[in-house]
Structure 1
């Protein structure tokens, strides 16, 4: 029995399969990069604030966030103590 042609056919099939997967992944990466460029045109990322500036522009929302976190922690400690 001669296994030479069967092994050659298996290697050919493996090479074609890996080639198709590689090409598909290249197309997928290209499509993701293209979508990222299109998304940046519609909704650009805001530039970060300087190091000395506050992260939030609305101090009232910071106060309400701190209050909400404090209430949640108090409730958690009360229920699980």
Structure 2
């Protein structure tokens, strides 16, 4: 085999490999999109349930809890010195 034939064969193999990866990744993206659509259709998100952020924002932190946390942090820092 000559060098030209080997380079041509290498280029063909590279093109086949790149095409295979491209097709695989394209199919993967399409399948994931279809799965996402089906999950959203059959399991819609609940609009009425509050999220964690909403719960934290709506509940006021008690001054006693703040004092306990402050005391614990202060004590921990004193022990570290």
Residue correspondences, number: 71
The TM-score with structure 2 as length reference comes to 0.59
* CA distance 1:80–1:10, change in 2 (3 Å): same
User: When you count helix as a share of all residues, which structure comes out higher?
Assistant: 2
Query: Of the two structures, which has the highest relative contact order with CA contacts closer than 8 Å and spacing of 6 or more?
Result: 1
Indicate the structure (1 or 2) with the bigger Cα radius of gyration.
Answer: 2
Aligned residue in 1 for 2:12: 12
- Unaligned residue ranges in structure 2 (runs of 5+): none
Partner residue, 1:34: 34
Aligned Cα root-mean-square deviation (Å)? 3.7
* TM-score between the two structures when normalised by the length of structure 1: 0.59
